[in-house]
Amino acid sequence: MKEIFNRRSIRKFEDRPVEKEKIDKLLRAGMQAPSAANQQPWEFIVVENKESLKTLSLTTPYATPVANSAVTFVLLGNSNSFKVPSGWQQDMGAAAENILLEATHLELGAVWLGFATADVAIDYITNLYNLPENIKPFAMIAIGYPDGQKNEFVDRYIAEKVHYEKW
Ligand SMILES: Cc1cc2nc3c(=O)[nH]c(=O)nc-3n(C[C@H](O)[C@H](O)[C@H](O)COP(=O)(O)O)c2cc1C
């Protein structure tokens, strides 16, 4: 599938909104992901307001692309949905990758901004949105029309990483 091979992290975006239909498709792609026991733990905050994007871009030192994105999704896990608690972050990762691939398909650019293991970032998002205890910040995805960067193939296949039948 060409989207898998061409997807890249896009961190600079045109000053141009992403159409509502495309935002809807991205969210649908996220929710189409597989999840442990089909627990579908995801929730999404969709942010387009420019001031809010600036505030969100301060979540981690590596989240600056959020500031010039057209729309950023904050991905959250809802522990009330957990049936396999140890699987929720893997579920969220599958949803995140689906969104990145759909963004590539829609000729958008996107970048995954992680904070699952950074307590400071989790606290920042929790306080910003006054999240209840059961809502767990996972990551953000900044999205927009690429400005100067493009989704293009880079070969990462390493034959030595493949082990047939035995280690
Ligand atoms: C779990 C995770 C966390 C990431 N966090 C950040 C981040 O905080 N800031 C950023 O600019 N890119 C982030 N990235 C994007 C990676 O830097 C990027 O995927 C990697 O360098 C490979 O480049 P590519 O996506 O263009 O193929 C993250 C990716 C993953 C999967």
Instruction: State both tokens at 3.
Output: 């989207």
Q: What are phi and psi of 71, to 5 degrees?
A: -150, 140
Q: Is the CB of 111 under 6 A from ligand 1?
A: yes
Share of the chain above pLDDT 70, in %: 99
Q: Is the CB of 115 under 6 A from ligand 1?
A: no
Burial 88-115 (b: 16+ CB within 10 A, else e): bbebbbbbbbbbbbbbbbbebbbbebbb
Q: Is the CB of 89 under 6 A from ligand 1?
A: no
Report CA(161)–ligand 1 centroid distance (Å): 21
The model's pLDDT over 95-106, given as tens digits with 9 standing for 90+, comes to: 999 999 999 999
Q: Considering just the CA atoms, what is the radius of gyration of the chain in Å?
A: 16
At residue 116, the pLDDT reads 65
**pLDDT band for position 167 (50/70/90)?**
very high
Q: In this model, does residue 44 exceed pLDDT 90?
A: yes
* Mean residue pLDDT across the chain: 97
Measured between alpha carbons, how far apart are the two ends of the chain, in Å? 29
- Beta bridge partner(s), residue 110: 9, 143
Instruction: State both tokens at 44.
Output: 């999404």
Q: In this model, does residue 78 exceed pLDDT 70?
A: yes
Q: Is the CB of 11 under 6 A from ligand 1?
A: yes
**pLDDT band for position 115 (50/70/90)?**
confident
Q: In this model, does residue 126 exceed pLDDT 90?
A: yes
Q: Is the CB of 126 under 6 A from ligand 1?
A: no
**Residue closest by Cα to atom 21 of ligand 1:** 9
Predicted TM-score (pTM) of this structure: 0.97
Report CA(9)–ligand 1 centroid distance (Å): 6
